[in-house]
Structures are given as structure tokens and as C-alpha cells.
Amino acid sequence: MSEVVPPEDLSSAARLIKEHSGKVLAFTGAGVSAEAGIPTFRGKDGLWNRYRPEELATPRAFESNPKRVWEWYKWRMSIIARAEPTWAHKVMADWERKGVLMGVVTQNVDGLHQRAGSRLVIELHGSIWRTRCTVCGRRFDLGFGNIPEEDLPRCRECGGLLRPDVVWFEEPVPMDQFERAERLFSEAEVILIVGTSGVVMPAALLPINAARQGKILVEVNPEETNLSSLATIRLRGPAGEIFRELARLVEEDLSWR
């Protein structure tokens, strides 16, 4: 891997993480789960190369064809249910336990951060493992890996149609989650931006504003993104491999400093 990422970039990133220990925050997107076998939306092999988002992940799509939208979600759930957290998820959880990382703000809906042991996980776009009643608004936790059997799952309280409790295109991000994320960002000094294309708003405003406030951004992504120009260090490669290497460097005695 060090053939791809200059080793000095990896050690600079590791040094930053150590120096700002306790003030490091991770901001993640679909790419952090790509090595777990979960397709991303954009980028090479992204889901949208095969499906049209406006036909599946919008309130209008669900109104006109809920069965089709549920089918797509159940297909995605079946992929996620088989997935294991990657090194990136695991290292983030470990760093949180050790007081290095404050927590994770994620755009993902897969639940892999929690599965890896992360405790402070802000889910800006909801969770695929939770449903919400379209009539009474009640939320139901399914638990990781539990896929509804019915074609059209119904609310056990009022019989209303259930939908995945995720944020679709054209829908607002839950205000409480966004505000919690903003607070964490304001306390952080170093932001690790991992596996996100940085085009989904308002989520992308969090790192954009952080950069404006002079915070240090480290990007982990095999491809150039919307946020690349804001990052002090860009680690080009798969998140799992990069985090495995970073974990080793952060653990090492910093005598080489």
C-alpha cells in the first residue's frame, strides 16, 4: 500500500492524530463500507450506475411504487446483513475507546460503525435497520440483519405503511442530528473525511465550514472529491488499508518525531 500513498503523508497524518488526540472527529460516507462489499452510490462501481436514484430513493418514488422501493431496500439490507466492519470501522471504534477519536458523524445507513464498537455515532441520514410509520410516525428498530418479511411492512400500532427510516433525496436531514454533528465539529481540531464524495447537502457543509474555521482536514479516498482541495493531507487509497496502516503508526512510539 505504501507504494500508492507516500509514506510521509501517512506519518504526517498519524502525527496529527496523536498531537490532537481527543479532538479528532471522523466524517464518513459510503466509501468507508465499500471494502465490506456494500456498493457506494457514486464513484466507480457506484449503485447509481445501475439504478436511477430518482426512481428509488425519493418520497415520490415511494408514494407511486412502495413495493419496488421496499424491494430495493431489502436487496440492500441483504447485502449489508452479510457485511463485516472493515479495518476503518474497527480502528475508529478502537480510537474512540482510547480517547483519541471523539466519535463518528456518518452519512451511512448501514450500522457498521456501531457493529464495530463505535459508541458515539451520529447518523445524519438515518438507519436502514429502522422503519418509520408513514401514518403515525412511530419508529421501530429492526436490529442489524433483520429484514422485514412482508412485501409491504405495516405498523403494529396503527396498521399504516412502514418506510425505511432513512433520509431520501429532497428530504431534510433530521435537525437534532445535524445540530449534534455541528457541536462535535465545533469542538474538533482535526477532521478525518473518509469515503465521501462530499456532494450531498447539507452534510457536506459540515467539513466545508470546518475548513473555513481553520480546522485541519485529512481526506481518505481513492479518488479526488469535492472536498479534496480543502484537505491538508490527502491519503489516496482504500479506507480499510489506510486505517490499518494509520493505526500501526499512531500506536508506535513517536520517537521519530
Q: Cα–Cα distance between 51 and 107 in angstroms, integer?
A: 20
When binding is defined by CB under 6 A, the residue of 17, 25, 41, 162 that contacts ligand NAD is 41
Positions 20 through 39 that interact with ligand NAD (CB under 6 A): 29-31, 33-35, 38
74 near ligand NAD, judged by CB under 6 A: no
114 near ligand NAD, judged by CB under 6 A: no
Q: Is 125 a catalytic residue?
A: yes
- The CB-of-43 to Zn ion minimum distance in angstroms stands at 37
Residue 108 contact partner, candidates Zn ion, ligand NAD, none, CB within 5 to 8 A by sort of partner: ligand NAD
- The CB-of-62 to ligand NAD minimum distance in angstroms stands at 16
- The CB-of-239 to ligand NAD minimum distance in angstroms stands at 4
* Cα separation values, 71 from 35, 62, 79, 103, Å: 24, 11, 13, 33
Residues 191-210, mask of contacts with ligand NAD (x by CB under 6 A) = ----xxx--x----------
- DSSP-assigned states of every residue in the chain: -TTTS-HHHHHHHHHHHHHTTTSEEEEE-GGGGGGGT---SSSTT-GGGTS-HHHHSSHHHHHH-HHHHHHHHHHHHHHHHT----HHHHHHHHHHHTTSEEEEEE---S-HHHHHT-S-EEETTEEEEEEEETTT--EEE--TT----SSS-B-TTT-PBEEEEEPPTTSPPPHHHHHHHHHHHHH-SEEEEES--S-STTTTHHHHHHHHTT-EEEEE-SS--TTGGG-SEEE-S-HHHHHHHHHHHHHS-GGG-
238 near ligand NAD, judged by CB under 6 A: yes
- The CB-of-34 to ligand NAD minimum distance in angstroms stands at 4
Residue 200 contact partner, candidates ligand NAD, Zn ion, none, CB within 5 to 8 A by sort of partner: ligand NAD
87 near ligand NAD, judged by CB under 6 A: no
Positions 126 through 155 that interact with Zn ion (CB under 5 A): 133, 135-136, 155
Q: Alpha carbon 104 to chain centroid distance?
A: 8
1 near Zn ion, judged by CB under 5 A: no
When binding is defined by CB under 6 A, the residue of 11, 15, 46, 160 that contacts ligand NAD is 46
Q: Is there a contact between 236 and 43 (Cβ–Cβ < 8 Å)?
A: no
Total binding residues toward ligand NAD, as defined by CB under 6 A: 28
221 near ligand NAD, judged by CB under 6 A: yes
| Residues classed as catalytic | 125
Residue ranges in contact with Zn ion by CB under 5 A: 133, 135-136, 155, 157-158, 160
Binding footprint of ligand NAD on the chain (CB under 6 A): 29-31, 33-35, 38, 40-43, 46, 107-110, 125, 195-197, 200, 220-223, 225, 238-239
